[in-house]
Amino acid sequence: MNEMRWQQSIPSPLGALCAVTDGHSLTELEFDRDVRDSIDAPVAATRLLDRVAAQVAEYFAGERTAFDLPLAPRGTPFQQGVWRALLAIPYGRTASYGDVARAVGQPAAFRAVGAANGRNPIAIVVPCHRVIGADGTLTGYAGGLARKQALLALEARHAFALQP
Protein backbone atom coordinates (compact mmCIF):
# COMPACT_ATOMS: atom_id res chain seq x y z
CA MET A 1 0.00 0.00 0.00
CA ASN A 2 1.38 3.40 -0.99
CA GLU A 3 1.48 6.02 1.70
CA MET A 4 -0.02 9.38 0.92
CA ARG A 5 2.36 12.30 0.43
CA TRP A 6 1.76 16.00 -0.15
CA GLN A 7 4.01 18.65 -1.61
CA GLN A 8 4.21 22.41 -1.77
CA SER A 9 6.54 25.01 -3.21
CA ILE A 10 8.08 27.30 -0.59
CA PRO A 11 9.66 30.58 -1.69
CA SER A 12 13.01 31.64 -0.30
CA PRO A 13 15.55 34.34 -1.09
CA LEU A 14 17.74 31.60 -2.61
CA GLY A 15 15.06 30.12 -4.85
CA ALA A 16 12.00 27.98 -4.39
CA LEU A 17 12.15 24.86 -2.27
CA CYS A 18 9.97 21.81 -2.79
CA ALA A 19 8.65 20.47 0.54
CA VAL A 20 7.19 16.97 0.75
CA THR A 21 5.44 15.43 3.75
CA ASP A 22 3.93 12.06 4.51
CA GLY A 23 1.19 13.82 6.45
CA HIS A 24 3.02 13.37 9.75
CA SER A 25 6.61 14.42 9.05
CA LEU A 26 8.71 16.41 6.62
CA THR A 27 10.39 13.89 4.31
CA GLU A 28 12.00 16.19 1.72
CA LEU A 29 12.95 19.86 1.33
CA GLU A 30 15.01 20.51 -1.76
CA PHE A 31 16.19 23.40 -3.91
CA ASP A 32 15.89 23.24 -7.69
CA ARG A 33 13.07 20.75 -7.75
CA ASP A 34 9.76 21.75 -9.20
CA VAL A 35 6.60 20.81 -7.41
CA ARG A 36 5.08 18.30 -9.77
CA ASP A 37 2.66 15.44 -9.97
CA SER A 38 5.30 12.95 -11.09
CA ILE A 39 6.30 12.05 -7.54
CA ASP A 40 2.76 10.89 -6.81
CA ALA A 41 2.19 13.63 -4.26
CA PRO A 42 -0.57 16.14 -4.84
CA VAL A 43 0.22 19.81 -4.47
CA ALA A 44 -1.68 20.82 -1.35
CA ALA A 45 -1.68 23.15 1.59
CA THR A 46 -1.60 21.19 4.83
CA ARG A 47 -0.99 22.36 8.38
CA LEU A 48 2.42 20.69 8.36
CA LEU A 49 3.44 22.23 5.03
CA ASP A 50 2.23 25.61 6.31
CA ARG A 51 4.45 25.14 9.42
CA VAL A 52 7.41 24.25 7.20
CA ALA A 53 6.84 27.35 5.06
CA ALA A 54 6.48 29.60 8.12
CA GLN A 55 9.63 28.24 9.76
CA VAL A 56 11.67 28.54 6.54
CA ALA A 57 10.52 32.17 6.22
CA GLU A 58 11.48 32.83 9.86
CA TYR A 59 14.90 31.24 9.25
CA PHE A 60 15.62 33.49 6.28
CA ALA A 61 14.39 36.53 8.24
CA GLY A 62 16.93 35.71 10.97
CA GLU A 63 14.15 35.01 13.47
CA ARG A 64 14.64 31.25 13.77
CA THR A 65 17.85 29.44 14.69
CA ALA A 66 16.33 25.98 15.21
CA PHE A 67 13.50 24.20 13.48
CA ASP A 68 10.65 22.53 15.34
CA LEU A 69 9.35 20.07 12.78
CA PRO A 70 8.82 16.31 12.77
CA LEU A 71 11.36 14.83 10.35
CA ALA A 72 11.40 11.51 8.51
CA PRO A 73 14.16 11.52 5.90
CA ARG A 74 14.54 8.22 4.08
CA GLY A 75 17.98 6.69 3.98
CA THR A 76 20.26 3.90 5.12
CA PRO A 77 21.07 3.50 8.82
CA PHE A 78 24.47 5.15 8.22
CA GLN A 79 22.87 8.09 6.39
CA GLN A 80 20.31 8.45 9.19
CA GLY A 81 23.16 8.60 11.72
CA VAL A 82 24.98 11.26 9.72
CA TRP A 83 21.81 13.32 9.37
CA ARG A 84 21.21 13.11 13.14
CA ALA A 85 24.79 14.31 13.68
CA LEU A 86 24.16 17.26 11.35
CA LEU A 87 21.25 18.32 13.54
CA ALA A 88 23.72 18.72 16.43
CA ILE A 89 25.83 21.33 14.59
CA PRO A 90 24.81 24.64 16.18
CA TYR A 91 23.34 27.51 14.17
CA GLY A 92 26.09 29.79 12.92
CA ARG A 93 28.79 27.15 13.35
CA THR A 94 30.43 24.66 11.01
CA ALA A 95 31.94 21.21 11.32
CA SER A 96 34.27 19.27 9.05
CA TYR A 97 33.44 15.94 7.44
CA GLY A 98 35.96 14.42 9.86
CA ASP A 99 34.14 15.99 12.81
CA VAL A 100 30.89 14.40 11.65
CA ALA A 101 32.63 11.06 11.05
CA ARG A 102 33.90 11.13 14.63
CA ALA A 103 30.42 12.10 15.87
CA VAL A 104 28.95 8.96 14.27
CA GLY A 105 31.71 6.79 15.73
CA GLN A 106 33.51 6.13 12.44
CA PRO A 107 36.46 8.54 12.34
CA ALA A 108 37.90 7.14 9.11
CA ALA A 109 34.58 7.41 7.24
CA PHE A 110 34.82 11.06 6.27
CA ARG A 111 34.28 10.26 2.57
CA ALA A 112 31.19 8.19 3.40
CA VAL A 113 30.00 11.09 5.55
CA GLY A 114 30.45 13.35 2.52
CA ALA A 115 28.34 11.01 0.41
CA ALA A 116 25.62 10.82 3.08
CA ASN A 117 25.73 14.58 3.50
CA GLY A 118 25.20 14.97 -0.24
CA ARG A 119 22.15 12.71 -0.11
CA ASN A 120 20.44 14.66 2.68
CA PRO A 121 16.85 15.08 1.46
CA ILE A 122 15.92 17.87 3.90
CA ALA A 123 17.96 20.96 3.05
CA ILE A 124 18.40 23.76 5.59
CA VAL A 125 16.40 22.00 8.35
CA VAL A 126 18.98 19.18 8.45
CA PRO A 127 21.91 21.58 8.09
CA CYS A 128 24.23 19.84 5.66
CA HIS A 129 25.33 23.31 4.55
CA ARG A 130 27.23 23.61 7.86
CA VAL A 131 29.70 20.89 6.85
CA ILE A 132 32.95 22.18 5.34
CA GLY A 133 36.35 20.84 4.40
CA ALA A 134 38.93 20.18 7.12
CA ASP A 135 40.90 23.22 5.92
CA GLY A 136 37.84 25.47 6.21
CA THR A 137 37.01 25.55 2.51
CA LEU A 138 33.49 25.24 1.23
CA THR A 139 32.97 21.92 -0.48
CA GLY A 140 30.07 20.42 -2.40
CA TYR A 141 26.46 21.30 -1.70
CA ALA A 142 23.52 19.84 -3.60
CA GLY A 143 21.95 23.30 -3.77
CA GLY A 144 25.15 24.80 -5.18
CA LEU A 145 28.13 26.40 -3.47
CA ALA A 146 26.70 29.92 -3.87
CA ARG A 147 23.67 28.88 -1.80
CA LYS A 148 25.88 27.17 0.78
CA GLN A 149 27.94 30.34 1.13
CA ALA A 150 24.77 32.45 1.40
CA LEU A 151 23.29 30.17 4.10
CA LEU A 152 26.51 30.25 6.14
CA ALA A 153 26.74 34.05 5.77
CA LEU A 154 23.10 34.46 6.85
CA GLU A 155 23.69 32.32 9.93
CA ALA A 156 26.97 34.05 10.80
CA ARG A 157 25.33 37.46 10.54
CA HIS A 158 22.37 36.51 12.74
CA ALA A 159 24.37 34.37 15.19
CA PHE A 160 26.66 37.34 15.82
CA ALA A 161 23.65 39.61 16.36
CA LEU A 162 22.12 37.12 18.83
CA GLN A 163 25.18 36.91 21.08
CA PRO A 164 24.89 38.68 24.44
Which residues are catalytic, by number?
128
Residue 6 CA neighbour count, 13 Å, CB half: 14
Query: 120, 85 in Cβ contact below 8 A?
Result: no
Q: What are phi and psi of 134, to 5 degrees?
A: -60, -30
Query: 49, 103 in Cβ contact below 8 A?
Result: no
Q: What are phi and psi of 35, to 5 degrees?
A: -70, 130
User: What's the residue count for the chain?
Assistant: 164
Residue 33: how many other CB atoms lie within 10 Å? 17
